Amino acid sequence: MKVIPLPLYYEEKEGQLILTDTTFHFSEELAESAAFFQQFILMKTGINLRSEKYAQINFVLDFNLGEEEYQLDISEHSLMLAARTDSGAYYGIQTLIQLLEYKDGKYYYPEIYIEDRPKFAYRGFMFDIARHFFGKGEIMRLIDLISFHKFNYLHLHLTDDQGWRLESEKYPRLQEISSRRRGTILKDGTIDGIAHYGYLKKQELKEIVEYARLRHLEVIPEIDMPGHMTSLLAAYPELLCSGVNDNIEVRSAWGISKDILCAGNELTYKILEDLLLEVMEVFPSRYIHLGGDEAPKDNWRNCSLCQEKIKKENLENEEALQAYFFNHFQNFLSKYGRVAIGWNDGLHPDLNESVIIQHWKPGTRKKTVKAANSSRKVIMSDFLYLYLDYPYAMTPLAKTYNYNPLKGIEKEENILGIEAPLWTEWVANRAKIDFQIFPRIAAVAEVAWTAPELKDYDSFRKRLNYLYPIYQKMGVNFARNKEIKPGFLKRIINTRSWWKNEDSEFLKE
């Protein structure tokens, strides 16, 4: 078996199905995936699968299977892919892409029987295009690559202190001012003085959403609030708290800003609602991410408007004000049938039941687990295991692979799944994106998809050797063996230099 993520059940046999003048038949309900498969076979082998009623390759509908489930039955004479939905069939095809063999001038499939379905319904990857901007082409390339690993959610971190990356018709200063910064901080602490800018037009975002939909991925937009908002505040400083110096710019340095949105100003609510309407117009996703991480309350404590709000709404303190703020937008989104996700910094007793928490923050797991063990829905993104922007020295492949999202969890149904973020403070180009993601994303895929009792790191490492040539053909700059398993000393030295923001040879690769 060479497939990643490892299927739930399989039986391997000796024979082979050789592809030559092969015939193909599919149920109309699976037409989209059938077209995808035909295209793959044509590109890869040059063989044009011929449509025929009684065919060697059959895609059939099976109502007994689950939403994302598929079965594959390959013998010397036939290949049958069964699924209930197009997405089930799509995942079967991703397996077929990995199973295809070539020898002595012939393409063939090994004889095999597979039953497969995901462990978790939510298998996410997050891409930060705020710290460094990446456009439609790069996002679509990543959609191809993560859907190949059977992921079904792409979370786009669209806004942050260092840049606003989506067009607004109502608030054009967001693209004129917020989407551009004067420079970018370097490892030595100086600013490079090179303007960095970019944003996605609504039309481009719609194309991305459609491209993802065809690959059975939902794109979740994130508008991070009330913190990480310097880029918007640089264009609309009237949303700062009272008494705060409003001479602010889109940030060139990383880190956490004290300048957050005023939660006592009605204009804040008005502008964000307008923006969320624009967001929903572009993104049909069930989930909208409202951020909520790293929002220092210094300004709120000293702001007459925020303090008035706390009094008027009978709130306990500034943390309760953030929950109030979040609930306001959750209620707004729910009017349109949407559900809010928030980073776990915002987990608070007052927070609406329906808000999904994305757990990331080290040292807070107990609190998140407690919430999940009562009734909170949670997506796990533990910083120490799933943050793909951190060096392999700190987070080696094996550590990510052996991550257990269900540790301490009594109500498994409350863990929707996992998500691996790629923040891009120190990721400025495609080569670095690939190096950080691959092959760790394959490990994440196996945590998300494969039944935990079947996970085995040695088996995974062996199967990775079959994935590398595929990465190579796709032009992916994956990390090599010596890089994903650094020795003890290298781990210490490089992790230290990472945290000190020093350039080290290891980090540069």
Nearer to ligand ACM, 360 or 498 (CB): 360
Nearer to Zn ion, 126 or 234 (CB): 234
> Which residue from 26, 343, 392, 401 is in contact with ligand ACM, where contact means CB under 6 A?
343
Q: Is there a contact between 465 and 484 (Cβ–Cβ < 8 Å)?
A: no
Nearest distance from residue 140's CB to Zn ion, in Å?
40
Tokens representing 448?
Answer: 């998300």
Within its chain, how far is the Cα of 110 from the centroid?
32
Within its chain, how far is the Cα of 141 from the centroid?
13
Nearest distance from residue 423's CB to ligand ACM, in Å?
7
- Whether 328 is a known active-site residue: answer no
Amino acid type, 390: Y
Which of 68, 111, 116, 160 does the annotation list as catalytic?
A: 160
Q: Is there a contact between 152 and 173 (Cβ–Cβ < 8 Å)?
A: no
Nearer to Zn ion, 30 or 261 (CB): 261
Tokens representing 463?
Answer: 């199967």
Amino acid type, 110: P
Neighbours of 389 (CB within 10 A): 20
Please report, for residues 7, 117, 452, the alpha-carbon distance to residue 114 in angstroms, rounded to integers and kept in the order given.
7, 10, 18
Reported in sequence order, the residue ranges of 383-474 that DSSP labels E, i.e. its strands, are 415-422
Q: Is there a contact between 244 and 259 (Cβ–Cβ < 8 Å)?
A: yes
Nearer to Zn ion, 318 or 483 (CB): 318
Which of 149, 157, 216, 228 does the annotation list as catalytic?
A: 228
Nearer to ligand ACM, 112 or 126 (CB): 126
Nearest distance from residue 359's CB to ligand ACM, in Å?
10
- Whether 160 is a known active-site residue: answer yes
343 makes contact, choosing from Zn ion, ligand ACM, none, with CB < 5 to 8 Å by partner type, with ligand ACM
Q: Is residue 360 involved in binding ligand ACM (CB under 6 A)? A: yes
Closest C-alpha to 27, from 85, 101, 110: 85
My answer on whether omega of the bond before 5 falls inside 30° of 0, hence cis, is yes
Neighbours of 166 (CB within 10 A): 26
Candidates 15-23, 301-309, 325-333, 369-377 — which segment interacts with Zn ion by CB under 5 A? 301-309
Nearest distance from residue 320's CB to ligand ACM, in Å?
21
Q: Is residue 305 involved in binding Zn ion (CB under 5 A)? A: yes
> Which residue from 29, 62, 204, 293 is in contact with ligand ACM, where contact means CB under 6 A?
293
306 makes contact, choosing from ligand ACM, Zn ion, none, with CB < 5 to 8 Å by partner type, with Zn ion
My answer on whether omega of the bond before 118 falls inside 30° of 0, hence cis, is no
Tokens representing 210?
Answer: 């459609």
SS3 400: helix
Number of residues that bind ligand ACM (CB under 6 A): 4
Q: Is residue 306 involved in binding Zn ion (CB under 5 A)? A: yes
Residue 43, burial from CB neighbour count under 10 angstroms (0-12, 13-18, 19+) = exposed
- Please state, in angstroms and rounded to a whole number, the distance separating the CA atoms of residues 124 and 116: 19
Nearer to ligand ACM, 251 or 455 (CB): 251
Q: Is residue 303 involved in binding Zn ion (CB under 5 A)? A: yes
Nearest distance from residue 421's CB to ligand ACM, in Å?
7
Unique residue bearing structure tokens 């090179």: 194
- Please state, in angstroms and rounded to a whole number, the distance separating the CA atoms of residues 21 and 233: 62
Site for Zn ion in 212-271 (CB under 5 A): 241, 262, 264
Nearest distance from residue 315's CB to Zn ion, in Å?
13
Which of 294, 350, 456, 509 does the annotation list as catalytic?
A: 294
Nearer to Zn ion, 238 or 410 (CB): 238
262 makes contact, choosing from Zn ion, ligand ACM, none, with CB < 5 to 8 Å by partner type, with Zn ion
Which residues make up the interface to Zn ion (CB under 5 A)? 241, 262, 264, 303, 305-306
Which residues make up the interface to ligand ACM (CB under 6 A)? 293-294, 343, 360
Residues recognised as catalytic: 160, 228, 294
